[in-house]
Chain A
Amino acid sequence: MSKDNQILEDLNSKEYEHGWSVDFETDEAPIGLNEDIIRWISTKKEEPSWLLDWRLKAFKIWQGMSEPAWANVNYPKMDLQALRYYSAPKQSNKPKNINEVDPELIAIYERLGISLNEQKRLQGIAIDVVLDSVSVATTFKETLGKLGIIFCSFSEAVKEHPDLVQKYLGSVVPMTDNYYAALNAAVFSDGSFCYIPKGVRCPMELSTYFRINAANTGQFERTLIVADDSSYVSYLEGCTAPQRDENQLHAAVVEIYAGAHAEVKYSTVQNWYPGDKEGKGGIYNFVTKRGICAGDHSKISWTQVETGSAVTWKYPSCILKGDHSIGEFYSVAVTNNYQQADTGTKMIHIGKNTKSRIVSKGISAGKSQNSYRGQVQVMKRAHNARNFSQCDSLLMGNQCGAHTFPYIDIANPSAKVEHEATTSKIGEDQIFYCNQRGIATEDAVALIVNGYAKEVLNQLPMEFAVEAQKLLALTLEGSVG
């Protein structure tokens, strides 16, 4: 037992490695939230009037909503009037390309291990980097441009491709969707926009990296991915934040639109600051992510590795509207110390012969609470819908919790829906087996956890899989159930 305690202590004392912040000049909105602030943001971003109207409409709707309380999480409510809704690094001129970006900013990202300069040279991933509220750099724009792929910051897209933005903005996640989606629609500051034209297979992984730097700000970015008919794109998202004692809010919206025969793969490694081991500070991650398989034979696949955030509230969903469309959700959610996660997915089957697959693996350690909340809905007209869900939970230590809330709502007799879930700890016999073969307990746990999460990790693109495995190993270093 003492060995277990020792190991658990080690685990608890693990530091958040991205917890630093940098002081540099920023352009900030005054604290508070009202119509004037929204106008201020809109003016600052030189937005067209339709977008301002859209924001104001969202704000009105938001005012009539109240914060949802149904999630299985407990946290002190946040005073949304005490937040700053816009914070941007000061740059005299908008950078035209990566060479003109403030070297200090580049240095931040190099500390995070994302070298933008290196990206330029090595063939690999095109990145759009979002710091606090604005997009600071997008790499590989020209290469992608040749194929007709648009990959830029959201504000740039508003200026240069207003038709596309106007057509798809809010079409998957309407502003009325929920409290945080409405708030995001009113105050979103930037984000990424991506358009893949018909029949184009995006040759590289597209990626967004989010970082919150300033204190007392909320980050509200919006990502919009449009994959036109028969196109393919794989999209990655990463995030970190400095270590602060106050809770910070991250309320993002991601919308994905997939046309006929299009395929979108969206992978996230979420590593926001989770708070210290007493549960102080950390990010509130209240995110709305949804994709629509609008065309026939389209496919959207969500993969997420959730290791950070004090409180997570996130349900990447698929609306399977096109016939023969496919939705997938693969998730590993790890919680430690006082972290709380309420995450899962929604699969809404509308079209005929639609298929969905859910694989969710929760790991809870310390005093954390980890919930899976998912819905599989088969509408009346969705003939021959097929779903398979599996959600397993692994418990480490006797003070954490693992909860499962699956909603299965079926209104068509030809649907085949299966759901299974198990909860257990790492078996002593499994560890003993490894020990017997000369594998130390710590390594055995890493081995077992990796095997446990493998089904999900396998879905990640190579670059991310390495990071995710490292993160898992770090978070659970040496913990024995």
Chain B
Amino acid sequence: MSTLTKSTFVSGLFEALPNTFPSLRQMGKENFYVQGFPSLKDEEYKFTPIAKKLETSLTNFSSANPVIISAEQINKAVPAGFEGVVLAFSNGKYLPELSTSVEGLTVNFLSKNESTPIGSIAKAENDPFIALNQATFTDGLCISIEKKKEITLPILLLQFHQAKEGQVISPRIWIEAGDFAKASFIDYSISLDDAPYFVNKVVEIKGGIHTDLTYHSLQEENNQVIQVNALVTDIQQDSQFTSTQITLSGDLVRNNLTLNLLGSNAVGNMFGIYLLNGKTHVDNHTNVDHTFPHAESNELYKGILADQSRGVFNGKIFVRQAAQKTNAFQQNNNILLSEDAIINTKPQLEIWADDVKCSHGCTVGQLDEEALFYLQARGIDKTTARGLLLYAFAGEVLEKIELESLRTFITTKIQERLGSKF
């Protein structure tokens, strides 16, 4: 990581830290200062001027306190037809009185469970934002799923964010699933107002063997918010992990997804949609590390960029020498709709094993004029025709979402956007 000397502007964040996890916070702070905020010279942040953005748009660099959330707000935010567990959060702080539960699922404040091995999967020494979160998270949640427990109801993590201009929200979540467990999560972030603030979230997922876990992230923050979301997971033998990342808004959004495949027959799936307009800048970095033989990873990210939006995609697949018989597939497709939209994509393969099947593909283009004409010739107006084609483009990712209520919810949101001027 390159160093940016002006990391000092965050110093306000280190004042009045909670007194939980003292040594861990100290380590996070040290690791953060060693790395500093990445500059554009840093290969990983080549197209995402996050340090500059933070420095110029955030004045009051301090932690945001939780705000009061009403039951009504929760009812409004929950997708129609959703049946499942709701875990509510306000600026990263868990709200037990507004949450529900189910058998086999245990939740606990991180501050009440200091033996939680946070930081063991999302390592502070590799990422300045994880380090910063580790040093400054106010409280977080430890979610555990019992061994052999199949939770059929989806678990919705409702993350309400409301902060003063320039404040920082640092949610931290630890999920642990016992062997043979199965669960599906929906992480839904919503802004309650229009202030520019910074969300620096870290989610760590530790699965046992033979688990089946799904984690959907739906981001619907206001267009002033700067976000860095890290999701790091260890996938053990015979397990499957699926991530779906839907980004619809924000000022600058950086999603770091890391999948460590740590056993044979482990499967990692990564799906994503970014639907951008205005000046939204979204950077999706995914990283899959194959260390064991006979594992598989699939990746499909699709982007639609309008106005002056900018999309960055960097998908890395590492296949270590021991990871023979690996199958790894990666695909990134983009549609540019305006003269001022920019896409920087870099599908990257690093392979040290010979008996593998790896491929990646990447396209950038626009809507097929002929298809558009075909629809128009049949009496469909241009806006609708365009919306239809774009929806079909995004549809390939949408149909990967198994949870019906969520799929309908996201589909409606995307259709609303595509059907209008967009």
Contacts from A to B (Cβ < 8 Å):
70, 72, 378, 380, 393, 395-425, 481
B364 pairs with A417, CB closer than 8 A: yes
B358 pairs with A422, CB closer than 8 A: yes
Stretch at the interface among B54-62, B258-266, B338-346: B338-346
Contacts from B to A (Cβ < 8 Å):
43, 47, 321, 324, 334, 336-339, 341-366
Q: Is the interface of B mostly helix, strand, loop or mixed?
A: strand
Q: Is the interface of A mostly helix, strand, loop or mixed?
A: strand
- Chain B residues positioned under 8 Å from A481 (CB to CB): 354-355
CB nearest to B313 among chain A residues: A408
From A397, A398, A401, B324 is in contact (CB under 8 Å) with A398
B351 pairs with A412, CB closer than 8 A: no
B362 pairs with A418, CB closer than 8 A: yes
* Interface contacts beyond A408-B364, A419-B361, A421-B347: sample of 20 additional A-B pairs, CB < 8 Å, sorted by A: A395-B354, A395-B356, A397-B354, A400-B354, A401-B351, A403-B350, A409-B344, A410-B334, A412-B336, A413-B337, A413-B341, A416-B366, A417-B364, A419-B360, A419-B362, A423-B349, A423-B351, A423-B358, A423-B359, A425-B356
Q: Please name the 10 residue pairs, one residue from A and one from B, whose CB atoms are nearest each other, closest first.
A: A395-B354, A413-B336, A417-B364, A419-B362, A404-B349, A423-B358, A422-B359, A401-B352, A420-B361, A403-B350
A425 pairs with B347, CB closer than 8 A: no
From A399, A406, A414, A424, B358 is in contact (CB under 8 Å) with A424
Min Cβ gap A409→B in Å is 5
From A398, A412, A420, B360 is in contact (CB under 8 Å) with A420
A415 pairs with B364, CB closer than 8 A: yes
From A399, A403, A411, A417, B363 is in contact (CB under 8 Å) with A417
Min Cβ gap B83→A in Å is 41
- The docked-state distance in angstroms from the alpha carbon of A393 to that of B351 is 10
Min Cβ gap A259→B in Å is 30
List, sorted by A's number, 10 A–B pairs whose CB atoms are closer than 8 Å: A401-B352, A403-B351, A408-B344, A409-B342, A413-B339, A417-B364, A418-B363, A419-B347, A420-B360, A421-B359
A421 pairs with B360, CB closer than 8 A: yes
B349 pairs with A415, CB closer than 8 A: no
B354 pairs with A425, CB closer than 8 A: yes
- The docked-state distance in angstroms from the alpha carbon of A378 to that of B344 is 10
Min Cβ gap B370→A in Å is 14
CB nearest to B349 among chain A residues: A404
The winner among B43, B345, B363, B364 for most chain A CB atoms within 10 A is: B364
CB nearest to A381 among chain B residues: B339
B346 pairs with A408, CB closer than 8 A: yes
Min Cβ gap B100→A in Å is 45
Min Cβ gap B74→A in Å is 40
B342 pairs with A401, CB closer than 8 A: no
- The docked-state distance in angstroms from the alpha carbon of A70 to that of B41 is 11
Min Cβ gap A120→B in Å is 48
- The docked-state distance in angstroms from the alpha carbon of A481 to that of B357 is 13
A424 pairs with B357, CB closer than 8 A: yes
Q: A70-B43, A417-B364 are in contact. Are A412 and B354 (CB under 8 A)?
A: no
B354 pairs with A410, CB closer than 8 A: no
B361 pairs with A421, CB closer than 8 A: yes
CB nearest to B359 among chain A residues: A422
Min Cβ gap A360→B in Å is 13
Min Cβ gap B310→A in Å is 9
- Chain B residues positioned under 8 Å from A408 (CB to CB): 343-346, 362, 364
- The docked-state distance in angstroms from the alpha carbon of A399 to that of B320 is 10
- Chain B residues positioned under 8 Å from A404 (CB to CB): 347-350, 360
- Chain A residues positioned under 8 Å from B43 (CB to CB): 70
- The docked-state distance in angstroms from the alpha carbon of A221 to that of B365 is 41
CB nearest to B319 among chain A residues: A423
- The docked-state distance in angstroms from the alpha carbon of A400 to that of B354 is 7
A412 pairs with B339, CB closer than 8 A: yes
The winner among B321, B341, B348 for most chain A CB atoms within 10 A is: B348
Min Cβ gap A15→B in Å is 25
- Chain A residues positioned under 8 Å from B47 (CB to CB): 409
- Chain B residues positioned under 8 Å from A396 (CB to CB): 354
CB nearest to A399 among chain B residues: B321
- Chain B residues positioned under 8 Å from A402 (CB to CB): 349, 351
B346 pairs with A407, CB closer than 8 A: yes
Q: A413-B339, A421-B359, A421-B361 are in contact. Are A403 and B349 (CB under 8 A)?
A: yes
CB nearest to B362 among chain A residues: A419
- Chain B residues positioned under 8 Å from A406 (CB to CB): 346-348, 362
Min Cβ gap B303→A in Å is 11
From A378, A380, A397, A417, B339 is in contact (CB under 8 Å) with A380
- The docked-state distance in angstroms from the alpha carbon of A401 to that of B324 is 12
CB nearest to A389 among chain B residues: B362
CB nearest to A425 among chain B residues: B354
- The docked-state distance in angstroms from the alpha carbon of A410 to that of B324 is 35
Min Cβ gap B389→A in Å is 14
- Chain B residues positioned under 8 Å from A401 (CB to CB): 350-352
- Chain A residues positioned under 8 Å from B345 (CB to CB): 407-410
A414 pairs with B366, CB closer than 8 A: yes
Q: A402-B351, A417-B364 are in contact. Are A407 and B356 (CB under 8 A)?
A: no
- Chain A residues positioned under 8 Å from B341 (CB to CB): 411, 413
Min Cβ gap B327→A in Å is 10
- The docked-state distance in angstroms from the alpha carbon of A418 to that of B361 is 8
- Chain B residues positioned under 8 Å from A421 (CB to CB): 347, 349, 359-361
B336 pairs with A398, CB closer than 8 A: no
- Chain B residues positioned under 8 Å from A378 (CB to CB): 364
Min Cβ gap A64→B in Å is 16
- Chain A residues positioned under 8 Å from B351 (CB to CB): 393, 395, 401-403, 423
- Chain A residues positioned under 8 Å from B355 (CB to CB): 398, 425, 481
- The docked-state distance in angstroms from the alpha carbon of A396 to that of B341 is 42
Q: A380-B339, A410-B336 are in contact. Are A416 and B350 (CB under 8 A)?
A: no
A420 pairs with B359, CB closer than 8 A: yes
CB nearest to B353 among chain A residues: A398
- Chain A residues positioned under 8 Å from B365 (CB to CB): 415-418
- Chain A residues positioned under 8 Å from B361 (CB to CB): 418-421
- Chain B residues positioned under 8 Å from A400 (CB to CB): 352, 354
Min Cβ gap B255→A in Å is 19
CB nearest to A398 among chain B residues: B354
From B337, B348, B353, B364, A410 is in contact (CB under 8 Å) with B364
- Chain B residues positioned under 8 Å from A422 (CB to CB): 357-359
- The docked-state distance in angstroms from the alpha carbon of A411 to that of B342 is 4
- The docked-state distance in angstroms from the alpha carbon of A413 to that of B349 is 27
